[in-house]
Structure 1
Amino acid sequence: MPELCLLRPDHAPALLAFERENRAYFAASVPDRGDDFFARFDERLRALLAEQEAGECYFHVVAGGDGEVLGRVNLVDVADGGAALGYRVAECAAGQGLATWAVREVCVLAAERYGLSVLRAAAALDNPASRTVLTRTGFTVTGETRLPHSGRPGLTYRRAL
């Protein structure tokens, strides 16, 4: 059974492997992180952990039994009782309900541990898997948008906690 864990410094090797191994897979549906992300991974991880320590964001990894990172579920831009949700799952774990499980778990944490009352999300129109995860986990469509990093058309979602 996978485990949802708040991001820690010791996740670094497995997290970097996850990002490298799935780079092309992720780039098919979300903008590529770019070479600089990988070249400066340790620096970027320290910055994320500092944001998390400040309560601005909560970064989670979905860890397999062997410590392998199978996914990420993040709450960013935490303010005024809300946050934006983002997630990604490894290609080897796609289509198995892992994203749905992890998003449900983060919704519980968001309400019970982080004191949030609402989550926001967005998904591209051409990403039916992501839209299905949001619908299955209680998010409702609130409007249309252009996704910030890609400009692709998408839908915005909201879930009260």
Structure 2
Amino acid sequence: MKSVRIRTLESTDAEALLTFEWNNREWFERHIDARDAAFYSVQGVTEHITAYLSDYAAGIWHPCVIVDSGGTIVGRANLKDIDTSRRSAEVGYRIAQSACGQGLATQAVKHLVQEAKLRWNLNQLVANVYAANIGSAKVLKRCGFLIEHTSGQEGTDQKYRFGLSI
């Protein structure tokens, strides 16, 4: 496993995040919903970061980046839809294609579980994964998540919902 640091997204991450997202756009779109084309500009990513940091300040989102020893963003991990009254949130992550298979997704999910427990006092996490995204399903299972139910149509639109009580 490569040495990485997982930290909260910062307003100064715009150019590095744009590079990460642009370089991995095709890869991500094979596994998750595509972003709007307007996202792929410094302005688009800056607006994205501003919105995420606003939601972080409001306590409904915890956006993180995964940075390698050279300072390059190699992944993202988020707690979203944080609901402190229900003590729940959704987990999401994306890893650069060049960094896959190195344990970074597992490390990121474990980090989110710790943040959920220690920072946000949550006790329930969920994650949604397309059926074709076998790697993400394996990561979630490795981190203790269990399949709760299946939704969508047969084939590529089918999703699995995973849950974890913490």
* TM-score normalised by length of structure 2: 0.91
RMSD: 1.4
User: SS of the counterpart of 1:126?
Assistant: coil
> Separation in 1 of the partners of 2:144 and 2:157?
24
Aligned: 1:36 with 2:38:
yes
Shift of 1:146: 2.5
Shift of 1:48: 1.1
Write the deviation string for residues 93-137 of structure 1: whole angstroms up to 9, x where unpaired. 011111011111111111011211110111111111010000000
Which residue among 62, 65, 68 is the counterpart of 2:66? 62
Aligned: 1:53 with 2:65:
no
What is the one-letter code of the residue matched to 2:53? Answer: L
User: What does residue 137 of structure 1 align with?
Assistant: 143
> Separation in 1 of the partners of 2:163 and 2:20?
28
Matches within 5 A, 1:112-127: 112-127=118-133
What is the one-letter code of the residue matched to 1:44? Answer: H
Shift of 1:64: 0.6
User: What does residue 9 of structure 2 align with?
Assistant: 7
What is the one-letter code of the residue matched to 1:5? Answer: R
User: What does residue 80 of structure 2 align with?
Assistant: 76
User: SS of the counterpart of 2:40?
Assistant: helix
* TM-score normalised by length of structure 1: 0.93
Aligned: 1:98 with 2:104:
yes
> Separation in 2 of the partners of 1:6 and 1:45?
11
What is the one-letter code of the residue matched to 2:28? Answer: F
Shift of 1:8: 1.1
> Separation in 1 of the partners of 2:112 and 2:64?
8
Structure 2 gap ranges (5+):
none
User: What does residue 162 of structure 2 align with?
Assistant: 157
> Separation in 1 of the partners of 2:110 and 2:60?
21
What is the one-letter code of the residue matched to 2:68? Answer: G
Identity of aligned residues (%): 32
What is the one-letter code of the residue matched to 1:68? Answer: T
> Separation in 2 of the partners of 1:35 and 1:134?
29
Structure 1 gap ranges (5+):
none
